[in-house]
Amino acid sequence: MASKASRWADDGEDAALEAQRKKEKEEKKRLKAEKARKLEAEKQAREAAAEAAEAEAASQQQDTDSANGPPSKRRKVSPERATSNGAANSSRLLRFEGGTFTKSRSVENYDKLNDIEEGAYGWVSRARELSTGKVVALKRLKIDPKDRGGLPVTGLREIQILKDCDHRNIVKLREVVVGDDTSKIENIFLVLEFLEHDLKSILEDMPQPFLASEVKTLLLQLASGLSYLHDSYILHRDLKTSNLLLSNRGVLKIADFGMARYVSIPPPPKLTQLVVTLWYRAPELLLGSSRYTSAIDMWSLGCVFGELLTREPLLQGKNEVDELAKIFELCGIPTEESWPGFRRLPNARGLRLPPSAGGGAAAGSIIRAKFPLLTLAGVSLLSSLLALDPERRPTAKEVLDHEYFRQDPKPKSEAMFPTFPSKAGQERTRRRETPNAPGRGEKLADLGQIDFSGIFAGREMEERGGGFSLRMV
Amino acid sequence: MSHMTNPLATPDQLYQRRALGSLPIELQDAIFFSTQCLTQAAGILLQLPQSVTAQANVILARYLLVEPIMAYEFSELSAASLFLVAKMGPSPRAPRDISNVYAYLLSSSSSFFRPPSSPPPVNDPSAYYRSDTSYQAFHTRVLAIEARIFYALGFDTHVSLPHPIAITYLQALDFLNVRKEKIAKRTLEYLNTALLSPQMLYCTSQPNALAVAAIYNAAKDVGAKMPECEWWEVFDVDREELGFLVVGMRSVEGWAKKMREDLPKMAQGMIKRRDVEEELARMGAATALGGEEDAEAEMARRMDQRMEEMETS
């Protein structure tokens, strides 16, 4: 067993152990003599001594193993260390646990119960783990065998990011399993924790909107999950109500990381603009920015906020141009003042805007008029999230500290959250009415020369009429 | 914490490696080394950042601790690991480019893995021309291996490299009597060499330990003054692990030299599975590969090996 591998295999350790035992005995004897002097520190000292002995033993082991030998420095220091045991207290080393790696298990460890939904990137079903009886959600990766790019990058990124995340408001990936035939890996399933609802179907079915206190709880949880993601350099890039899950205990979790990716700060120069479902897409994306930041998620958060209040998606554009028109209608027309530099974005060059009447000042008031039941602080939060200029949107952390959440009514405790009949738990699949996030490799919408002055022509006339001036109050 | 940690091999996986490949361990080590070198060479020709190539090295090392080394052609294992890591990151590479690069590196026109003393090879484009059918077949095999690697690693491709950590540590240490560039360069050289080590250091130690060991070695080499105290403990590395890694990193060069002397086949370009089978025959072992041998004999041979191991340990 003189091979290289033996150094970290058993025999090396055995020899080291034996040497260590001998050392330990010596150390103990010596320590006994010192016992009177160091009664209190004795236990720690012994541990530290054992550590030192171990290191010594190891270095001796390596001495015999290798012609190079360890640097002599280590041996020189070690006796000093044994005598200075009193101070050994400080050398508690941090252990980094990264886990291990091993083959994926088979999907046969799970018993499928019912389908939950079929999305753009695969289907999801409810299943039970045979050995534990735990109910989970199985999400199957859509794999196109004709795709010569191999396994889909989006799915692989989703796996990687979910594996790295550990937060109560982010759905947990328990493992990844594969079909039984492992000679060809064609069926890949993500085993996710199961939550009874998604916000979208709850909103569609509930007779009354959420109470203000409930909206606050949901929003706080969403912002807390988002703050974790952004702190970990992850952009979600597809936040929308159908991707937010809710448990029967009122816990919200962010799901579906098919669009997510790691980014650096400052952001890398060429991010794809083909992200985020149209209705939740930030104006800088629509205008073709490829150097966007976490502010795009904050915009989506604003859209979700609005949707929680009204049960209706806030900005339901029919296409990119219509979406922009709806955004400008709600948030005002961008000016050099309200959004410095927006003219330099690729799709903004051909943009013809009406002379801004009111601009940023009017924006807040339109939002105010649209949500008459929202408090002043609520309006200020919502309109800051829906700021056209990404720089002016608050970060997720700032949202968590916002005045809105400190005002009455206070956020409702999660335990007090109402329960809803679960669609996912029943034998019914969710319907999807929101459009899907754009697919990879789709053609970028070239907004080209768009004349927005025409779209707003009507509104300009409106402004002159009585209806619009009422809104201005 | 995930950018500080890596999943590590279990003692079982390290021990099983010898049984897994049903190859003599020296041969496995040699194959491992040359495959990792091939990945590095391909990474350079594909103009990939070293961070991508290094991750591919680590992924492949992990894979080889889970699956037998002879299941696929070595060069294609290397290609698949490079392909999949590049694809997940910001600099994907087209399969066609990868195919061309590997075809070249394996051809007689490339000097890859030939002794520096041998005359420079004659450039013969026809030697590394890949026809469309041969490219399609290569591509299909690489995709199959890609999926296999993901499966073998439980789809966990997280790799945290020690390089950026080492730079941060160096800044903290501030070796005043040497130029920063000099010691940083030497440190990175140690870290990159460690990727090739058949001891699979990246699968046995966390990046902080690798970084500290590389700094230690580099400081010794360039004659930098190290702190008198046990400074590695500041970076949460204990003396034992440091000692192991310091020796491990230093031994790669000598080991590689000796390996090439012992296995002359290694000096004739990238080793192929066919070469290994021939080598095995030469070494007098029965061909135990690719299902050509019947299962019974295979089983008997494995049991013999087990017995041998049990006796020696």
Which residue from A5, A98, A103 is facing B151, i.e. has the nearest CB? A103
Q: Interior CA angle at A100 toward A94 and A106, to 5°?
A: 150
Contact A59/B139, CB-based, under 8 Å? no
Inspect the interface and report whether the beta carbons of B66 and A101 lie closer than 8 Å.
yes
Per-residue pLDDT reduced to its tens digit, A409-457: 889 888 888 888 776 665 445 555 567 777 666 666 666 666 665 554 4
- pTM for the whole structure: 0.76
Instruction: Looking at the structure, tell me whether residues A169 and A218 fall in a common domain.
Output: no
User: For position A120, which CATH number holds?
Assistant: 3.30.200.20
Contacts of B230 in chain A (CB under 8 A): 77, 81, 91
pLDDT value of residue A183:
76
Q: Is the residue at A72 inside a domain?
A: no
Q: Is residue A96 part of a domain?
A: no
- Residues A84-126: pLDDT tens digits? 444 444 567 888 888 889 999 999 999 999 888 765 556 889 9
Per-residue pLDDT at A263: 87
CB pair distance less than 8 Å for B150 and A156: yes
Backbone angles phi, psi at B288, to 5 degrees: -120, 35
Indicate the residue among A193, A218, A243 that finishes a domain.
A193
In this structure, are A181 and A236 located in the same domain?
no
Active-site positions of A?
Answer: 238
A43, A71, A34: which is closest to B230 by C-alpha? Answer: A71
* Tens digits of residue pLDDT in B204-247: 999 999 999 999 999 999 988 888 889 999 999 999 999 999 99
Chain A residues in contact with B246 (beta carbon < 8 A): 70-71
Whether residues A137 and A261 share a domain: the answer is: no
Query: A371 and A403 share a domain?
Result: yes
Amino acid at the residue A466 = G
Residue closest to B95 by CA, chosen among B132, B52, B63, B44? B132
Residue B154 has its nearest CB partner, among A68, A69, A104, at A104
Whether residue A42 is contained in a domain is answered as no
Length of chain B: 313
Q: Is the pLDDT score of A140 beyond 60?
A: yes
Note whether A189 and A205 are same-domain residues. no
Mean pLDDT for A286-294 is 90
Asked if residue A323 and residue A283 are part of one domain, the reply reads: yes
- Contact criterion met (CB < 8 Å) for B206 and A68: no
- The reply to whether A132 and A232 lie within a common domain is no
Provide the number of structural domains found in chain A: 2
Q: Looking at the DSSP assignment, which residues form a beta bridge with residue A112?
A: A127
> Is there a contact between A150 and B143 if contact means CB atoms under 8 Å apart?
yes
Rounded to whole angstroms, the Cα distance separating B151 from B137 reads: 21
Residue B10 neighbours by CB under 8 Å, 6+ apart: A100
Task: Kindly state whether residues A269 and A408 are assigned to the same domain.
Answer: yes
Cβ neighbours, 10 Å, residue A326: 17
Residue A282 and residue A208 in one domain: yes
Q: Which residue of A has its CA nearest to B241?
A: A55
B154 to chain A nearest CA, in Å?
4
CB contact under 8 A, A96 and B208: yes
Closest CB from A5, A68, A98 relative to B6: A98
Residue A360: CB atoms within 10 A of its CB come to 20
pLDDT band of residue B275 (cuts 50, 70, 90) is: confident
Q: Which residue, A170, A193, A216, sits at the end of a domain? A: A193
Residue B135 class from Cβ within 10 Å (0-12 exposed, 13-18 middle, 19+ buried)?
middle
Encoded tokens for A319: 């296409």
Structural domains for chain B: 22-159 (1.10.472.10), 162-253 (1.10.472.10)
Task: Look at residue B270 in the predicted model and tell me its pLDDT.
Answer: 86
Taking CB atoms and an 8 Å limit, are A10 and B313 in contact across chains? yes
Give the tens place of pLDDT for each residue, B151-201: 999 999 999 999 999 999 999 888 767 888 899 999 999 999 999 999 999
Which domain does A172 fall in, by range? 107-193
Q: Is residue A38 included in any domain, yes or no?
A: no
Name every chain A residue with its beta carbon within 8 A of the beta carbon of B198.
4
Task: Give me the CATH number covering residue A314.
Answer: 1.10.510.10
Report, as an integer, the average pLDDT of B88-92.
85
Cα-based distances in Å from A431 to A207, A423, B109: 18, 10, 59
Do A225 and A151 have their domain in common? no
CA distance A389 to A387: 5
State which H helix or E strand residue B226 sits in.
Answer: none
Question: Does residue A16 belong to any structural domain of this protein?
Answer: no
Strands A244-246 and A197-198: antiparallel
Distance from the B199 Cα atom to the nearest Cα atom in chain A, whole angstroms: 6
Flag whether A181 is in a domain.
Answer: yes
| Mode of pairing for the β-strands spanning A244-246 and A252-254 | antiparallel
- Which of A101, A164, A178 is the best mutation test for B, with the most CBs of B within 10 A? A101
Retrieve residue B16's tokens. 């099983």
d(CA A217, CA A383): 19
Examine the domain organization and report whether A243 and A125 are in the same domain: no
On whether residue A315 sits in a domain, the answer given is yes
Angle CA A380–A245–A298, to nearest 5: 30
| Domain end position, chosen among A165, A193, A221 | A193
Q: How far apart are CA A31 and CA A113, in angstroms?
A: 64
- Rounded Cα distance, A243 and B55, in Å: 32
- Looking at the fold, whether A209 and A274 belong to one and the same domain comes out as yes
Residue A31 belongs to some domain of the structure: no
